[in-house]
Amino acid sequence: MTAENISRENYVNGRCSHEEYYRAVYNGAGLQANPFSGASVEECRALLAAGDEHLNRKPLGWWDAFHGAYGRALAAGARKLGDGAAYCFANTVCAMKQRMRDVIEGRV
């Protein structure tokens, strides 16, 4: 799917993936490329290598902590994709986990 076709509507209707949607949210927020420390990147790299594809063994509170600093910007990124709903912790967690995977994979 092209970046122009990524929208909340397409995500909800299965026409773009979770990864594509939350990557677009983060990119649309205009945030720094890598907000993570080197140690956290290496920890998450090890989790992915061990089969934790959703990074769920990293405590949820760690991911939730990004909401205060990034929640408003991520909400703005989501609005660009047609998401008018209130931006919650769960959306922040999804966007931050996708950014972490992108950092580890060298996409950013």
Each residue's pLDDT tens digit, 55-84: 999 999 999 999 999 999 999 999 999 887
- Rounded CA-CA distance 12/1 in Å is 14
Contact 55, 41 (CB under 8 A): no
Full residue range of the structural domain in which residue 79 is found:
3-104
Residue 92, pLDDT score: 95
Report the number of distinct structural domains present in the chain.
1
Contact between 62 and 100 (Cβ < 8 Å): no
Identify the CA nearest to 74 among candidates 101, 100, 83, 12: 83
User: Which two three-digit tokens encode residue 59?
Assistant: 């405590």
Count the Cβ atoms, other than its own, within 10 Å of residue 104.
18
DSSP-derived 3-state class of residue 8 = helix
pLDDT at residue 86 in the model: 67
pLDDT score for 69: 93
How would you write the pLDDT of the chain (108 residues) with one tens digit per residue? 676 789 999 999 999 999 999 999 999 999 877 899 999 999 999 999 999 999 999 999 999 999 999 999 999 999 999 887 768 899 999 999 999 999 999 998
pTM: 0.91
